[in-house]
Amino acid sequence: MDFFQHQLQQWTDWQAVMTSTATFEPLVRQIYLSENDPFKALEPVQSDFAATFQVGGTQIAIFPPAVIAPTTRDRYQTERFSLARVKRLGLAAPLLRHAGFIFDRYQFYYVIYEPLMGVPLTNFKATAKPDVKQALGQQVGLMLTQLNGPVTSFNTMPTTTPSADDLWADFGTDFVTERQRFLAAHPVTPNQFVHGNLVGDNLVVMTGRIGLQHFETACQGPRELELVPLILDAFAGDSDFLHGLLASLGQLDLVEAVLFGLLWRADGPMWLDRLMPTAPTNLAAVRTALTKLIKESKE
């Protein structure tokens, strides 16, 4: 008898059940039994990819089967590698307890961890005072100096080279050409560890420190990639956060660093749409928008 009863033929089939406690309870119960951990009632946890549930004091993330998600093994290995790495670095992150797979109707990879106990930055910043936001911005900058260190390749995500030109075609031929020239004029060694999705929901504010979570899309690449979601989403151009961040990053030209990261990333066009609702036709316009967002925070 299969513990997971639903047939999965496409991604929408997974989306329809990924928060269903009734669907996943038999499977999760069996996994916890195999790991000799006590099973508790499931509570769904929001996630874009894995079916994630709170189980007592732990959380389990069950990755979709490869039949509907070809990158699932890569994402599982990335989460596992990343949690082990941040633990060695002494950074605040979920504590990995178990990782493995179960053969059922499909092969499911999973990780079980003790989650961070705190408030996502997305919620916390709404009422945070300026001095608190500055302190958090500085903590994030110090954390990045550790997190974004050199690593050997740990997955197959194509982030050690710039994103393909065709992803930028909607901005016009001149923009694509200028982008090529800009990246060629800024050579980097793309061997740093990059979380890659430091949005507000993935930064957790705890007593006296800030932590990070959800590593399944982490990659090896230029450290500048990290700054794009951090500046445009997590901090959203907030002057207090940026004051603190700049205080800890030293002489970094933040405008040029974010511009580089934006133009390198495969989801760069999406971030550019968020920054500039009217599509730019040249890099000067992008640089101006970033300068307005970042430089004004220093005044």
Q: What is the DSSP string of 216-260?
A: TT-EEE-GGGGHHHIIIIISTT-HHHHHHHHHHHTT--HHHHHHH
CA distance 291 to 299: 12
CA distance 79 to 238: 29
CA distance 133 to 121: 10
User: What integer pLDDT is reported at residue 85 of this predicted model?
Assistant: 96
Tokens of 114: 């003790």
User: What integer pLDDT is reported at residue 211 of this predicted model?
Assistant: 96
Which residue, among 32, 27, 59, has the nearest Cα to 43 in the 3D structure? 59
User: What integer pLDDT is reported at residue 2 of this predicted model?
Assistant: 87
**Residue labelled with tokens 């608190």:** 132
User: What integer pLDDT is reported at residue 52 of this predicted model?
Assistant: 97
- Cβ distance 262 to 228 under 8 Å? yes
Which residue, among 58, 40, 55, 46, has the nearest Cα to 19 in the 3D structure? 46
DSSP type of residue 171: G
The topology (CATH level 3) of 119-298 is Aminoglycoside 3'-phosphotransferase; Chain: A, domain 2 (3.90.1200)
HSE on the CB side for 107, CA within 13 Å? Answer: 9
Residue type, 128: A
Classify 90 in phi/psi space as left (phi over 0), alpha (psi -120 to 50) or beta. left
| CATH class, 11-114 region | alpha beta
Q: For the chain, where do the domains classified as CATH 3.90.1200 start and end? A: 119-298
User: What integer pLDDT is reported at residue 1 of this predicted model?
Assistant: 63
User: What integer pLDDT is reported at residue 122 of this predicted model?
Assistant: 95
CA distance 224 to 268: 12
Q: For the chain, where do the domains classified as CATH 3.30.200.20 start and end? A: 11-114
CA distance 82 to 80: 6
The low-confidence residues of the chain, meaning pLDDT below 50, are none
User: What integer pLDDT is reported at residue 280 of this predicted model?
Assistant: 87
User: What integer pLDDT is reported at residue 81 of this predicted model?
Assistant: 95
User: What integer pLDDT is reported at residue 39 of this predicted model?
Assistant: 95
